[in-house]
Amino acid sequence: MEAVVFTPIRRGSRAARLALPLWLDYRAEIKVNGDENPAPPPADFRRRVKWGNSKPNVRFDLMRAGKKKKPVGFTLYAVDTVACDLLDPGGGVFLAYYIAPAYRRQGHGQRMFLHCAETLYRDGAAYLYCCPDPVTGEPFWRAMGFEDSGIFAPSYGLNIFMKK
């Protein structure tokens, strides 16, 4: 399999410039699948970068692959130290996760997940969770070993999937 590199996305960085087009594609895709986020995608991206850079337990990584290190995806994830009342604190949460369509079904999503899981457990996560959309997300997260917890997250309008 081709080499991959994970680079933190920081405000004004090359990684941020490379990640923005992926973020725009991500937002367009999740909108088709029912996402109701009213924030304009570029402003939302800048807000997420700023937020991720201001908290020690939040990571926003760009994944690049191949000899030319082309951007193939990104992930925003954290150890949730102040979980909602639905879950115990200390879970590793996936807040955004995206592999560009041209790079799907080539193992990139799994490699990014393994990178994130290792990082989250090293950072102290006791378990992992996410709220995947039912169209593109649920099949992937099930393949990574997550199960529908049966808990509905009203703030996202989605079920919480967990892996212990």
CA angle, 84 then 88 then 90, to 5°? 100
Q: What is the pLDDT along the chain (164 residues), one digit of tens a residue?
A: 689 999 999 999 999 999 999 999 999 887 776 666 667 888 999 999 998 878 788 999 999 998 899 999 999 999 986 656 778 888 999 989 999 999 999 999 999 999 999 999 999 999 999 999 887 789 999 999 999 999 988 877 889 999 98
Q: Which domains does the chain show, CATH number per domain? A: 4-163 (3.40.630.30)
pLDDT digits (tens, 9 = 90+) for 48-64: 999 887 878 899 999 99
120 and 92 Cβ atoms separated by less than 8 Å? yes
106: which 2 tokens?
Answer: 């080539």
91 and 80 Cβ atoms separated by less than 8 Å? yes
